Each structure stands twice: as C-alpha cells, then as structure tokens.
Amino acid sequence: MKIVSNCPLCEEHALHVIEKDSIGTQQCINCGYATTSNFIGTREDNETFKTLPEEMQSWSKEANGNIWIPSMITLPFGTLYPTNVEEVVGDGIRNVMKWGFAEMVDIPEEEQKNYPDERGGYFKQRYDTDNQKIYDIFLEAMVEMNEKARQNSIPESKIKLPKLKRVDG
C-alpha cells in the first residue's frame, strides 16, 4: 500500500509514502527528494546523515522533522542521479544541483581491462556518465526513464517507486 500526499519541499501532490516499508520511505516523484526513518532529526544530530558523502550532505534539506536527500535510481539500462552543474548566476559561477541520466553501454573488449570488477574479472558494461543527459526537474528525467523502460520491456510500475539507495562514501 502507498499513499500519495503533499510534498513538504516542492508542495506538489507527488509524495509517495510506502506503508508496508519497514524503513518508512517517503519519496516525491516531482522534486526527487526522499527520506526514511533513518533520517529523522536534523543535520546536526542525525548519525546516518553524517555517513553520507559531502556532496549528498550539501544537497540535503530539512522538512517535517526529517532530513531529505535526492533520490538515486539504478536500473539495468540506466541510472538517474543528482549532480552538480556549473551555472552562471549574476557575476559568478556556482554549482546548481540538476538530475543526470546515463545509459548503460557496452564497453569495447579492448577497453574492458580499464574496468576491473571486484571478483578478478572485468566489467562488460558501464553507465555512460560522459554522455549524461541533464534535467532541471526530476519528473522529466523519470518520464525519460519510463520511456527507456518501455523500450527495454520493463514494466513501468516497477520503476515508479524506486528504493531510496544508501550511498556509500
């Protein structure tokens, strides 16, 4: 069971609350921010938050007594993730968080030696982050991902509510 409610961050009626989820996932499919019961509290006192990579910490927001972080979605054909993009603002350049989408590509056989896996072999595929597509809005990236899922014959419903991934620093 899931409930759709208003998101405390973007205020859209797009916040999915998963009831039968032991970690209490809440995820907004409009702005892409998500939280779980591991992220109750503030940035100062939450221990899980302190284990996140610095970049992820910088993107986090506080609302409704929780810390919210941008979602990452990893699927066999592609990955959707938050990423900093340099933007000209006034007289200066600053980093702005956008959404990147990278497709899974085959690694040419002669290049596989550059991509060792952890089992003594080599990866044959990788996410093509060099050719990532950048989106301003999470929902736009999700639409693209759903389209790719259709092309790859993965039911759309399977990717509508991706799990909030722990990111290891």
Q: For binding to Zn ion (CB under 5 A), which residues are involved?
A: 7, 9-10, 28, 30-31
Q: Closest approach of Cβ 118 to Zn ion, in Å?
A: 36
Query: Minimum distance between the CB of residue 8 and Zn ion, rounded to whole angstroms?
Result: 8
Q: Which is nearer to Zn ion, 8 or 78 (CB)?
A: 8
d(CA 10, CA 30): 8
Minimum separation from the CB atom of position 49 to Zn ion (A): 19
Least Cα distance to 64 among 84, 86, 45, 39 occurs for: 39
How many CB atoms are located within 10 Å of the residue 62 CB? Answer: 18
Structure tokens belonging to residue 25: 């996932």
**Residue number, 127 or 139, with CB nearest to Zn ion:** 139
Closest distance to Zn ion from the beta carbon of 35 (Å): 11
Task: For residue 91, give every residue at least 6 positions away whose Cβ sits within 8 Å of its Cβ, in sequence order, or none.
Answer: none
- Looking at the Cβ atoms of 16 and 126, the one nearer to Zn ion is 16
CB 24 within 8 A of CB 36: yes
Name which of 61 and 133 has its Cβ closer to Zn ion: 61
